[in-house]
Amino acid sequence: MGNTGKEYADGFHTAGKVITCKAAVVWGPEEPFVIEEVQVEPPQKMEVRIKILFTSICHTDLGAWKGLNEMQRAYPRILGHEAAGVVESVGEGVEDLKEGDHVVPIFNGECGECTHCESPMTNLCARFRVDPFKSVMAGDGRSRFSVIDRAGKRRPVYHFLNTSTFTEFTVLDYACVVKINPIAPLQRMCLLSCGISTGVGAAWNTANVKKGSTVAVFGLGAVGLAVAEGARLRGASEIIGVDINLEKFDKGMVLSSMKRLDKFDENLNVFRFK
């Protein structure tokens, strides 16, 4: 992983075929990730198979790896939900995506037709909304991944959050794939899958920051910095960031100019975004 996607402009020549590729597979709670050769089936009706070019890790992946919620445990499994890539092939009925399109997978899919999708009050699709308990495809209740286990038997590998991006190829429901402008840098666009959209959305939609507001952001990781950016876009007059880690100051400068304020607690660092 780690290219621009231009090298796939001439096509993959694998449509309709099973693809064998490498993936980071988790076999049980807190067990080490194992790079395995997995088979990825062709997309079925209203599904899309994509080549993952960039992926990142989120704390949600850590929770699933630890198996903190017993009801969410499904192994072996391919985790990952922040990514960007290129469409390799599409299944029957998919009309708005084609081979070679640059895309971002999303765990909170939208069919665009249900009551929830048509409502201006929510985007939690009745069929494809984020579901940590889901581990198979919506169409037929099966996985599109398989692997040879330690006993030499081929067995299914479960999906994660509608996406499963810790693999070279993955299959998603059409509603969980968003086409993006091909000139957008994929290595940055992968963060739109979760961290950036979550943070910007928290300021833009959940908090509904108004012009002239003063906003405080606690925690200046990827999501927190995205919250600050969302607040800026909404016209906040002052944005204060709070974090116990002074190193966040340097990282925050990459996204937005910040000025460190006087500390009011020995364990906290307070910054003002310019």
Residue 167 included in any domain? yes
pLDDT of residue 261: 55
> Of 149, 173, 193, which residue sits at a domain end?
193
Q: Is residue 166 part of a domain?
A: yes
**pLDDT tens readout for residues 173-220:** 999 999 999 999 999 898 888 888 889 999 998 899 999 999 988 888
Is residue 45 one of the residues assigned to a domain?
yes
Same domain, 151 and 251: no
Please check whether residues 68 and 87 belong to one and the same domain. Answer: yes
Q: Are residues 24 and 92 in the same domain?
A: yes
Residue 139 counted as domain residue: yes
Structural domain harbouring 206: 195-273
- Taking alpha carbons only, the member of 201, 230, 198 closest to residue 213 is 230
Instruction: Mark whether 185 and 200 lie in a shared domain.
Output: no
- What's the pLDDT score for residue 71? 79
Domain boundary among 142, 169, 193: 193
Domain boundary among 159, 193, 227: 193
Task: Verify that 203 and 157 share a domain, yes or no.
Answer: no
Assess whether 176 and 228 both reside in one domain. no
User: Are residues 181 and 57 part of one domain?
Assistant: yes
Judge if 80 and 166 occupy the same domain: yes
129 and 34 part of one domain: yes
Tell me, what CATH number does 233's domain have?
A: 3.40.50.720
What pLDDT sits at residue 210?
95
Q: Are residues 202 and 116 in the same domain?
A: no
The tokens for 245 are: 């880690």
Please report whether residue 1 resides in a domain.
no
pLDDT of residue 52: 97
pLDDT of 28 reads 94
Q: What is the pTM of this model?
A: 0.86
Per-residue pLDDT of the chain (274 residues; tens, 9 = 90+): 555 666 665 677 899 999 999 999 999 999 999 999 999 999 999 999 999 999 999 888 888 899 888 878 899 999 999 999 999 999 999 999 999 999 999 999 999 899 999 998 887 899 999 888 889 999 999 999 999 988 889 999 999 999 999 999 999 999 999 999 999 999 989 888 888 888 999 999 889 999 999 998 888 888 888 898 899 899 998 888 888 887 776 666 555 555 555 544 556 677 777 6
Same domain, 42 and 148: yes
Q: What angle do helix axes 248-255 and 222-233 make, rounded to 10 degrees? A: 40
Same domain, 187 and 221: no
Write down the mean pLDDT value for the chain.
88
Domain tally, the chain: 2
CATH number for 170: 3.90.180.10
